[in-house]
């Protein structure tokens, strides 16, 4: 069982992923969902990103590609635990502890 949530002070920092985050592509192929613990505050994290470029595909009627290019490399995940971490600036758009990490795309 993962450790309980730690109410660490807010700090923007890049960390290595904790454990083995799961990366799953949605059934309709439009999204990746990354789940796993935050490496800083240990809250369970669920992060969703689009599979490719949003919007209509350029050149669809000209015989070019009909699907967006898939992600390659890694997905940048941000903690979105929702806990009121101390020292979080009021203007910060983040809803977590400020940690972010890269997760490889399968």
- Domain residue spans in the chain? 13-104
Burial class of residue 43 (count of CB atoms within 10 Å of its CB; 0-12, 13-18, 19+): buried
Q: How far apart are CA 82 and CA 35, in angstroms?
A: 15
Nearest one of 104, 86, 4 to 96, comparing CA atoms: 86
pLDDT at residue 106, rounded to an integer? 77
pLDDT digits (tens, 9 = 90+) for 20-47: 999 998 888 788 899 999 999 999 988 8
- Tokens representing residue 69 in the block: 């290019």
* Confidence label for 50 from pLDDT (cuts 50, 70 and 90): confident
């Amino acid at each position: 069982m993962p450790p309980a949530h730690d109410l660490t002070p807010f700090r923007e920092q890049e960390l290595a992923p904790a454990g083995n985050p799961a990366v799953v592509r949605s059934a309709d192929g439009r999204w990746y969902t990354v789940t796993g613990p935050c490496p800083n505050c240990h809250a369970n994290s669920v992060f969703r990103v689009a599979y490719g470029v949003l919007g209509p595909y350029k050149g669809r009627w000209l015989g070019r590609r009909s699907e967006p290019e898939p992600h390659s490399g890694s997905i940048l995940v941000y903690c979105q635990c929702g806990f009121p971490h101390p020292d979080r600036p009021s203007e910060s758009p983040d809803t977590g502890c400020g940690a972010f990490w890269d997760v490889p795309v399968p």
